[in-house]
Amino acid sequence: MGYPPNLERYRLAAEAGLREAIGRCSGPAALAEAMAYSLLAGGKRLRPVLVLATRAVFPPGGIDPMPVACALEFVHTYSLVHDDLPALDDDDYRRGRPSCHRRFGEATAILAGDALLTQAFWLLAQAFLGRADPAGPAVIEEIAGAAGSDGMVGGQVLDTIGAGTGLDRTVLEDVHRRKTGALIRAAVRCGAILGGASRDEFAALTSYAERIGMAFQVADDVLDVTAPATELGKTPGKDAVQGKTTWATLLGVDGARRHARGLVDAAVQDLEPLGDAARDLRSLAEFFVDRTW
Ligand code: IPE
Ligand code: IPE
Ligand code: MG
Ligand code: MG
Ligand code: MG
């Protein structure tokens, strides 16, 4: 199932932005090829879509959100390339094609991931250079914090070390808040920062983001159990093979689906103070759990 039309336009814009952004990254051809292979492989682009849709809640003007949207997708793609490596999840497929290390070898995949992460911050620096707007450094702080040791990388460490040890719900929530939730939260908050959100609007959007971020990983765990590889674009059943505690093992598939639904309903409630301007964020929350890939 693809995006509804009101959201598809953000995805198409992000796709064009990413193509342009990767085209501006120079370097050895072998590296550029691996970076573009993983980046332009047709992911859902949820994080850039979140940046653009959140930015659209507010009046236009100021810093262009596209480099910010692209930077987040660069960071996310790097996280997938490294997540698939033999030392982590050892996954052969990603985004419907052989994973980066299967196609280019481990050394190139590690370095392509390194380069995608670094180029993300190069894109941000280029976009903010020479501007006095405090939104620039605020966005950098948001993305770096979400990606780093206390965010996504920290979550990956806990996920890897904790795999197979029978985590309880509180620990699982903490792992997912970091490994998946942090970048999703950053995407929404960057859109809000660029839009000049008030303190109350920022708080409402942060709560929305935290809830859909958790719902997203609940859905990912359910899809790992229920979705066919052709639709998913990655190998299903990996969590069970690795003996991982997931939302599906903790609550059962139906229980996990109900949990995700409850989170999305609460996230939609969070948007109430933003009124009709947040309509695309409402449908995006629904898409987070209705998705089949
Ligand atoms: C998959 O993310 C990895 C997790 C954080 C669970 P996505 O489901 O957003 O992957 P793409 O970007 O669409 O490939
Ligand atoms: C990975 O989580 C999250 C990242 C930070 C990349 P998973 O290991 O569950 O993601 P998939 O299922 O391989 O996409
Ligand atoms: Mg993993
Ligand atoms: Mg994985
Ligand atoms: Mg998964």
Average pLDDT over residues 35-42: 96
> Cα separations (Å) of 97 from 37, 39, 89, 275?
10, 12, 16, 41
- 221 close to ligand 2 (CB < 6 Angstrom): no
Q: pLDDT tens, 126-179? A: 999 999 999 999 999 999 999 999 999 999 999 888 766 678 899 999 999 999
Residue-averaged pLDDT of the chain: 95
pLDDT tens-digit series, residues 217-275: 999 999 999 998 888 888 889 888 888 889 999 999 999 999 999 999 999 999 999 99
pTM: 0.97
pLDDT in tens, 249-264: 999 999 999 999 999 9
What is the reported pLDDT for 293?
81
Q: How confident is the model over 103-115, as pLDDT tens digits?
A: 999 999 999 999 9
Residues with CB under 6 A from ligand 1: 43-44, 46, 76, 95, 180, 217, 220
Ligand 2 center to 189 CA (angstroms): 22
> Which 3-state string (H, E, C) describes the chain?
CCCCHHHHHHHHHHHHHHHHHHHCCCCCHHHHHHHHHHHCCCCCCHHHHHHHHHHCCCCCCCCCCHHHHHHHHHHHHHHHHHHCCCCCCCCCEECCEECHHHHHCHHHHHHHHHHHHHHHHHHHHHHHCCCCCCHHHHHHHHHHHHHCCCCHHHHHHHHHHHCCCCCCHHHHHHHHHHHHHHHHHHHHHHHHHHHCCCHHHHHHHHHHHHHHHHHHHHHHHHHHHHCCHHHHCCCCCHHHHCCCCCHHHHHHHHHHHHHHHHHHHHHHHHCHHHHHHHHHHHHHHHHHHHCCC
pLDDT digits (tens, 9 = 90+) for 53-104: 999 999 999 999 999 999 999 999 999 999 999 999 999 999 999 999 999 9
Tell me the residues surrounding ligand 4 (ion) with CB < 5 Å: 83, 89
How many angstroms separate the alpha carbon of residue 91 from the centre of ligand 4? 7
